[in-house]
Chains A and B, each alone.
Chain A
Amino acid sequence: METATIESQSYLTFKLDQEIFGSTVNHVLEIIEVPKITKVPNAPTFMRGVINLRGRVLPVVDTRIKFGLPSVEDTVETCIVVLSIKVDGQEIVLGALVDAIKAVLEIEEDQIKPPPSIQSGYQSEFIDGMVKNEEDFILLLNMEKVFSTQEIVFLKEAEENSTTKEKNETKTKQHAK
Chain B
Amino acid sequence: MESLKHIFIQEATELIGQLEEALLHFEKDLSDEASVEQIFRIMHTLKGSSGMFGHDSINLFTHELESVYDSIREKTLVAGPEILELTLESLDHIKNLVSDPENQEYQKEQDRLTKKIIGLKSNSKPEGSEVQAEDEMASSTYYISFVPDKEIFINGTNVFYLLEDLLSLGKGFALPCFNPNQDFETVDVTECHTSFEVMLETTAKEHEIQDIFVFVADTSEVSVIKLDLTELPDGLEERLIKEHTYSKSIGLETIKKELGVRDSNDKKEVSDNQNNKNDAQTNVKTSRKTGPSSIRVSSEKLDGLMNQISELITTQARLSMLVNGLESAELSAITENMSKITRRLRDNAFSICLIPIDTLMIRFQRLVRDLSKGLNKKIDFITEGTDTELDKSVIEQLGDPLLHLVRNCIDHGIETTEERKKQGKPETGTIRFKAYNAGTNVVIELSDDGAGIAPEQIKKKALEKGLIGADEELSTEQVYELIFKPGFSTSEKVSDISGRGVGMDVVKRGIEDLRGEINIDSVINKGTTFTISLPLTLSIIDGLLVKIGGHVYVIPLQAVEKCYEVPTTLLTSASKQLVLDGERTPVFHMREVMGASDEAPKISQIIKMSYMGNDLGISVDSIIGEHQVVLKPLGYIYKNQEEFSGATILGDGTVALVFDKSKLVKKLMNHTTNTINHGNSNHRKPVLSDV
Contacts and interface: CB of A to CB of B under 8 A. Distances in A.
B656 interface: yes
A52 interface: yes
A40 B656 contact: no
Interface in A22-58: 35-36, 38-47, 49-52, 54-58
B326 to A, nearest CB: 23
B668 to A, nearest CB: 11
A56 B307 contact: yes
A66 B175 CA distance: 77
Nearest to B643: A42
B318 to A, nearest CB: 10
B678 to A, nearest CB: 6
A38 B655 contact: yes
A164 B684 contact: yes
Given A38-B647, A39-B551, A45-B679, A59 B640 contact: no
A92 B635 contact: yes
B649 interface: yes
A152 interface: yes
A54 B656 CA distance: 15
Interface stretch (A10-18, A118-126, A128-136, A165-173): A165-173
Contacts of B647: 38, 50, 57
B686 A44 contact: yes
Contacts of A150: 640
B341 to A, nearest CB: 18
Contacts of B636: 87-88, 90, 92
Interface size class of chain A, counting residues whose CB lies under 8 Å from the partner chain: 35 or more
Nearest to A43: B641
A65 interface: yes
Interface in B655-691: 655-657, 676-679, 683-691
B655 A51 contact: yes
B633 interface: yes
Contacts of A82: none
A38 B691 contact: no
Contacts of A47: 637-638
Contact of B685 (A87, A88, A164): A164
Contacts of A61: 637
Interface in A76-103: 87-88, 90, 92-94
A42 B686 contact: no
A171 B632 contact: no
B489 interface: no
Contact of B683 (A39, A71, A167): A71
A134 to B, nearest CB: 32
Interface string B293-315: 00000000000000110111011
Contact of A167 (B656, B657, B685): B685
A19 to B, nearest CB: 17
A75 interface: no
A41 B649 CA distance: 17
Contacts of A62: 683
A52 B655 contact: yes
B689 A43 contact: yes
B551 A42 contact: no
A66 B475 CA distance: 53
B401 interface: no
A59 B146 CA distance: 62
A157 B631 CA distance: 41
A42 B307 contact: no
A175 B640 CA distance: 8
Contact of B638 (A36, A40, A52, A56): A40
Given A38-B551, A38-B655, A40-B644, A59 B637 contact: yes
B589 to A, nearest CB: 13
Contacts of B654: 36, 38, 52
B595 interface: yes
A5 interface: no
B310 to A, nearest CB: 6
B634 interface: yes
A170 B688 contact: yes
Nearest to A151: B686
Contacts of B684: 70, 164
Contacts of A92: 635-637
A101 B643 CA distance: 35
A3 interface: no
A117 interface: no
Contacts of B426: none
B344 to A, nearest CB: 19
B535 interface: no
A50 B689 contact: no
Q: Which of A38, A59, A170, A171 has the most CB of B within 10 A?
A: A38
Given A38-B654, A52-B653, A44 B310 contact: no
Given A57-B633, A87-B636, A42 B676 contact: yes
Contacts of B676: 42
A136 B683 CA distance: 28
9 contacts: A47-B637, A47-B638, A55-B310, A56-B632, A87-B636, A90-B636, A92-B635, A94-B635, A171-B689
Given A42-B595, A44-B687, A44-B689, 10 more contacts: A40-B638, A45-B679, A50-B655, A52-B654, A55-B307, A56-B311, A59-B638, A93-B635, A164-B685, A177-B691
Interface of A: 35-36, 38-47, 49-52, 54-59, 61-62, 65, 70-71, 87-88, 90, 92-94, 150-152, 164, 167-168, 170-171, 174-175, 177
